[in-house]
């Protein structure tokens, strides 16, 4: 089971984590001919199951503006992991980007847009409260970040939030234990070397700018995940470099 991880779908932002809407539509057109399942179904099937799940990290406004209409057109399920601190009165700035847009930090989803997407079947999960690297937080700060983000999203959506995607995909034993204490059943990572997979260390595959259908075909192949996260680990950067112009 392959879990894909997108971030922004933005025509004006040139960065590795921003996919152009025209490319995203090509991806969705190709994926529509495959078995695409909700994230809940993918974890029920297990990492060795067949199929693809689509996720987005950070909760950028471009997911509503550009990705959401395309997902509806192709009737594809998806889960968006939101930085809870960017919502409502908190309005935390997007200060975690390595390559922000030249025009300034990107906008994030509003509560109203999240509820509209939820009504259309898009699911939501936590991406932490402040997009902090959880492995660097001390003491109770890890528990507080994970707990506060889950509670805020549950209040907004009036439903359980069992899934968290670790910011930057980074986690360790202490973070996984904190995620369990905070009430999450599954935690999603972005491994680039060997990691022991598990419910709170669920591997995903990053999709980046310039990844054409050739790269997508490789990254969704049933053998890609086991090879990438197995003993003979293969970094996705190699694949991205090989296929970024397709």
pLDDT value of residue 101: 93
- What is the pLDDT averaged over residues 148-155? 97
User: What was the pLDDT predicted at 235?
Assistant: 42
Task: For the chain, report the end-to-end CA distance as a whole number of angstroms.
Answer: 24
Hey, CA dihedral for 105, 190, 144, 80, is it positive or negative? positive
Across the beta sheet with 163-165, the strand order is: 186-188, 163-165, 123-126, 79-82, 52-58, 2-6, 205-206
Q: Is the pLDDT of residue 241 over 80?
A: no
- Other beta carbons less than 10 A from residue 105's beta carbon: 13
- pLDDT of residue 242 exceeding 70: no
Give the domain extent around 184: 2-243
Condensed to tens digits (0 to 9), the pLDDT of residues 27-56 reads 999 999 999 999 999 999 877 778 999 999
Number of structural domains, the chain? 1
pLDDT, average across residues 151-158: 97
User: Rounded mean pLDDT of the chain?
Assistant: 90
What is the CATH classification number for the domain harbouring 7? 3.20.20.370
Which comes out higher in pLDDT, residue 191 or 146?
146
Percent of the chain scoring above 70 in pLDDT:
89
pLDDT of residue 240: 47
Distances (CA, A) of 196 to 19, 156, 189: 29, 33, 11
């Amino acid at each position: 089971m392959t879990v894909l991880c997108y971030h922004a779908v933005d025509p004006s932002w040139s960065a590795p984590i921003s996919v152009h809407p025209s490319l995203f539509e090509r991806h969705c057109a190709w994926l529509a001919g495959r078995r695409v399942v909700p994230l809940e179904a993918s974890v029920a099937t297990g990492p060795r199951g067949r199929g693809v799940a689509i996720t987005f990290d950070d909760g950028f406004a471009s997911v509503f503006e550009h990705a959401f209409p395309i997902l509806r057109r192709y009737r594809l399920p998806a889960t968006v992991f939101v930085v809870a601190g960017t919502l409502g009165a908190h309005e935390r700035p997007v200060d975690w980007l390595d390559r922000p847009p030249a025009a300034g930090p990107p906008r994030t989803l509003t509560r109203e847009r999240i509820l509209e997407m939820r009504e259309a079947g898009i699911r939501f999960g936590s991406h932490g409260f402040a997009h902090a690297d959880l492995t660097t937080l001390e003491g109770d700060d890890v528990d507080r970040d994970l707990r506060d983000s889950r509670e805020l999203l549950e209040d907004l959506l009036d439903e359980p939030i069992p899934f968290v995607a670790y910011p930057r995909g980074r986690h360790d034993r202490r973070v996984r234990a904190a995620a369990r204490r905070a009430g999450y059943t599954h935690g999603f990572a972005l491994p680039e070397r060997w990691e022991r997979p598990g419910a709170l260390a669920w591997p995903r595959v990053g999709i980046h700018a310039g990844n054409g259908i050739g790269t997508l075909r490789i990254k969704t192949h049933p053998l890609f995940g086991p090879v990438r996260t197995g003993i003979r680990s293969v970094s996705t950067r190699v694949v991205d470099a090989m296929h970024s112009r397709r």
